[in-house]
Chain A
C-alpha cells in the first residue's frame, strides 16, 4: 500500500505523459517534414537544372548547325566566281605578269599552306561540362562530404 502511494506520488500525471507523447510525435513529424521539404526542394532544383541542361544541349546542337551553315554561307560569298564578279564590278582586272613587281624579302619563304588546327601533341584537357554536384543524390553528397571532411582532417574513415 505504501509502495503504491510512493509510486503514485512520483508518477507523471496522465495528461503529462500524453503531452510528452504528442510532443515526441510532433517532433518526429516536424523532422520528417523538414527532411521531406529539403528533399523536395533539392529534387525541384535538380529537375529545373536537368531541364535547363537539356535545353542548353539542344541549343548547343542548334548552334553547331548554325555555325556550320554560316561557314558555308560565308564560303558562298567568298567563292571564286562570286569574288571574280564582285572584283570586276568594282573595276578590278586580273593581274598579268607585266603588272607585277618582285621585291626580294630576306627570310620570306613564300605563302605557307593553311593550318586549321594545331599539330598532334597539344591535347586539350578533357573536361566534362556537367559538374558532379548535378548528378549525385543527397545521400551521395552527404557521404562524399563526410568522407572529404574526414580526409581533410587527416582521419581515417
Chain B
C-alpha cells in the first residue's frame, strides 16, 4: 500500500513539475523580447490603421461668389484577385463600362488562381461618378439574379472603387491665366502650378493630418475633422472677365494679332476686375499645356511678358514733367519734327513737323519729339526718379505666381546711353509688363496715389472670412497734377474724335504704338499696339489697359487698340452699373 502511495506521489510530483515547467515556459515565451516585438508588429499591422487625411483643396470664387475652382468626385477602381469569383464578368464589365482592355483585366482577375497573387491592383483612376454608377447598377443586378445551375454566377466580387476628389474648373477657360492649374493626376505630390494655384498653394492645400485608428471596434476613436484648405474670394468679376475675354478673342481675330491682353482695374483700390489674355487655356485639361503654350510663350502675358510699351508711356513722362514743374499744360513747344538727344536724332511717328503745340497737343498727336524735349527739360535725374517712383523696373507684387520684371537702365549703368533719356520718354528702350503699366498709370486716375494691384479680396480659413485691405504703395504725383493730366488726356481724345470715346461717358486715355526690337534693330513693320484709358474722367471707377501684340490689320494703336477700349468700356459701364455722366450728375444733385 505504502509502495503504491509512494509511486502515485512520485507521478504526481512529476506531473506537477511538468505542469509548472509548462506554465513557466508560457510566461517566459510571452514575455520574451521577440514576443513583445511580434505583438507590437501584429498590433501595428492588424490592430490599427494609419491614415493620412488630405484636406479638401480650397475653392476659388469670384467677387460675387461664383465658383471658379472647386473639386469633383472621381473614383479609383482596383481588383483584389483573391476575392474574384467570376473573372469573365469582371473583365467583361470593366472593359465595356470603363473602356479597359479585356484580356489585361482578365489576366489580373485570374492572377490569384494562376499565380497566387493576393496583391490589390489599381486598374484605373479618375473614373467619373457616372461610370461608377453603372458599375453599381451591374452589382445590384448580379445580386438580385438567380444562381445558375452550372458554373459560377456573374459577380463583380473583387472589384473595388474608392471615391476621391479631383480639382475642377467649372468655368473651363474663364480666368485660367489668373487661376493657374493643379496637376491632379499626381495624387501624391500634386501642387498648384502658375497663377493663384501656385501663389497660394499652401493655403489652398491645407494641412494633411496623420491619424492612427484602432481596428478594434470597441476601442472607438473619433476621426479628427480635418478642416479643408483655405478658400479664396477674388477681386475678379466673372461677368467683366467673360466680356473682356470675349472681346480679346474677337480683337485677335479682327486684327490678326499674335495675342491680346486686356486688364481692368479699380484705380482706387488696385483691385483687378478682369485680366484677359489669349490664347485660351482649359485648366481641366492641363496636360495640353505644351500644345497651347509652346516653348518660350507666356502663360499669363499680363504679368510675365515684357514689352516696349511705346506711347502709352508718355502718360508717365507727362505726369513727371507736370509734377516737377518742367512744363505746364499751356507750355508751348515748337515741333520741328526732330530733336537731338545724346548726339542722336529722334523723330515723330510720322516723321512730320507739327509746329507750335501746347502739352495737350503733344499728347493728342503723340509727338515723340515733344516728349523727348520734356524729358530733357526735366533732366535725367528728375525723369528717372519719377519713373522709378512709378515702379518701373520693380515688381508690382501682384499676388500671382510668375510676375516678371526687366531692370530699368539708369544713368551710370553700362547699358544706359544719353539717347535713352529721349527714347524712354516715349516708351522705347524701356521694357515693362502690362500689369506694371496699368499700376503706374492708375496713380494718375487715383489722385496720384499708386495702389498695389491684387486679385485676392478675401480668404476663408477655419470657417472665418478674412478681408484683405487695399494697400497704398505711395503717392507718386500730387492730386493737382493727376487731375490736370486726366483732363488733358480727356480733351486730347475729344479733340481727336478718337474711336476710343464712349457715348455718354467722358474718358481719358492714350494710344501707344511701339516698334519691336529685333536682331537688326527696330522693325517698323511689326508693332505692339496699346491703349490705356480710364473713366469717368471726373471720378474714375475703372482703368483699362489694352495690348495687341503684332497686329497685322494695322500697326497703329489708334486703329486697332482704341476701338477695343471703347468696346470694353461700353460693356463695363453696364456690368458695373455705372450710369452715364449726365444721369450720375443729375442723381448727385440734392
- A contact residues vs B (CB 8 Å cutoff): 43, 46-51, 53-54, 57, 62, 64-66, 68-69, 71-76, 78-81, 84, 94-97, 100, 102, 104, 110-111, 113-122, 124, 128-130, 134-135
Which stretch from B59-67, B80-88, B115-123 is at the chain A interface?
B59-67
What separation, in Å, do the CA atoms of A134 and B222 have in the docked complex?
11
Nearest residue (CB) in A for B570 is: A97
Residues of A near B231 (CB, < 8 A) are 116
- The minimal Cβ–Cβ distance linking B567 to chain A, given in whole angstroms, is 12
Residues of B near A128 (CB, < 8 A) are 222
Decide if A119 touches B464 in the complex (CB within 8 Å). Answer: yes
Decide if B171 touches A113 in the complex (CB within 8 Å). Answer: no
1/0 per residue, CB under 8 A from A, across B559-590: the answer is 00000000000110110010110010001000
Q: Contact partner of A76 among B61, B63, B170, B223, CB < 8 A?
A: B170
Nearest residue (CB) in B for A96 is: B574
Decide if A81 touches B165 in the complex (CB within 8 Å). Answer: no
Decide if B463 touches A118 in the complex (CB within 8 Å). Answer: yes
Known A-B contacts A102-B587, A117-B463; A65 and B164 likewise in contact (beta carbons under 8 Å):
yes
What separation, in Å, do the CA atoms of A46 and B219 have in the docked complex?
8
B323 at the interface (CB under 8 A from A): no
- The minimal Cβ–Cβ distance linking B10 to chain A, given in whole angstroms, is 31
B217 at the interface (CB under 8 A from A): yes
Decide if B242 touches A81 in the complex (CB within 8 Å). Answer: yes
Decide if A50 touches B220 in the complex (CB within 8 Å). Answer: yes
Nearest residue (CB) in B for A64 is: B56
- The minimal Cβ–Cβ distance linking A9 to chain B, given in whole angstroms, is 35
Decide if A114 touches B65 in the complex (CB within 8 Å). Answer: yes
B444 at the interface (CB under 8 A from A): no
Q: Between A and B, how many residue pairs show CB distances below 8 Å?
A: 133
What separation, in Å, do the CA atoms of A65 and B71 have in the docked complex?
8
B5-50 CB contacts (< 8 Å) to partner A: none
- The minimal Cβ–Cβ distance linking A54 to chain B, given in whole angstroms, is 7
- The minimal Cβ–Cβ distance linking A77 to chain B, given in whole angstroms, is 8
Decide if A46 touches B220 in the complex (CB within 8 Å). Answer: yes
Other 15 A-B pairs with CB < 8 A, given A68-B72, A69-B72, A97-B574 = A65-B165, A68-B70, A72-B72, A72-B170, A75-B66, A81-B174, A102-B579, A113-B63, A113-B64, A113-B233, A116-B65, A119-B467, A120-B466, A129-B222, A135-B221
B460 at the interface (CB under 8 A from A): yes
Residues of A near B70 (CB, < 8 A) are 68, 71-72, 75
Residues of B near A47 (CB, < 8 A) are 217-218
**7 A-B residue pairs with CB within 8 Å:** A65-B73, A65-B163, A69-B71, A75-B70, A116-B465, A119-B465, A121-B464
What separation, in Å, do the CA atoms of A104 and B412 have in the docked complex?
58
Decide if B580 touches A50 in the complex (CB within 8 Å). Answer: no
Residues of A near B580 (CB, < 8 A) are 97
Nearest residue (CB) in A for B216 is: A50
Nearest residue (CB) in A for B459 is: A117
What separation, in Å, do the CA atoms of A74 and B464 have in the docked complex?
23
Decide if B71 touches A68 in the complex (CB within 8 Å). Answer: yes
B457 at the interface (CB under 8 A from A): yes
Residues of B near A124 (CB, < 8 A) are 463
1/0 per residue, CB under 8 A from A, across B239-279: the answer is 10110000000000000000000000000000000000000
B449 at the interface (CB under 8 A from A): no
Residues of A near B111 (CB, < 8 A) are none
Nearest residue (CB) in B for A122 is: B464
Residues of A near B475 (CB, < 8 A) are none
Q: Contact partner of A46 among B172, B218, B504, B571, CB < 8 A?
A: B218
Known A-B contacts A47-B218, A80-B242; A72 and B168 likewise in contact (beta carbons under 8 Å):
yes
- The minimal Cβ–Cβ distance linking B96 to chain A, given in whole angstroms, is 24
What separation, in Å, do the CA atoms of A128 and B224 have in the docked complex?
9
- The minimal Cβ–Cβ distance linking B1 to chain A, given in whole angstroms, is 26
What separation, in Å, do the CA atoms of A111 and B273 have in the docked complex?
14
Residues of A near B208 (CB, < 8 A) are none
B238 at the interface (CB under 8 A from A): yes
Decide if B460 touches A116 in the complex (CB within 8 Å). Answer: yes
Residues of B near A104 (CB, < 8 A) are 587
Residues of B near A46 (CB, < 8 A) are 217-218, 220
Rank and list the top 4 A-B pairs by shortest CB-CB distance, nearest first: A50-B217, A114-B65, A69-B73, A75-B67
Decide if A72 touches B67 in the complex (CB within 8 Å). Answer: yes
B458 at the interface (CB under 8 A from A): yes
What separation, in Å, do the CA atoms of A110 and B570 have in the docked complex?
19
Residues of A near B219 (CB, < 8 A) are 50
Decide if B172 touches A81 in the complex (CB within 8 Å). Answer: yes
Known A-B contacts A72-B71, A97-B504; A110 and B577 likewise in contact (beta carbons under 8 Å):
yes
Decide if A130 touches B460 in the complex (CB within 8 Å). Answer: no
Decide if B464 touches A95 in the complex (CB within 8 Å). Answer: no
Known A-B contacts A47-B217, A80-B174; A114 and B233 likewise in contact (beta carbons under 8 Å):
yes
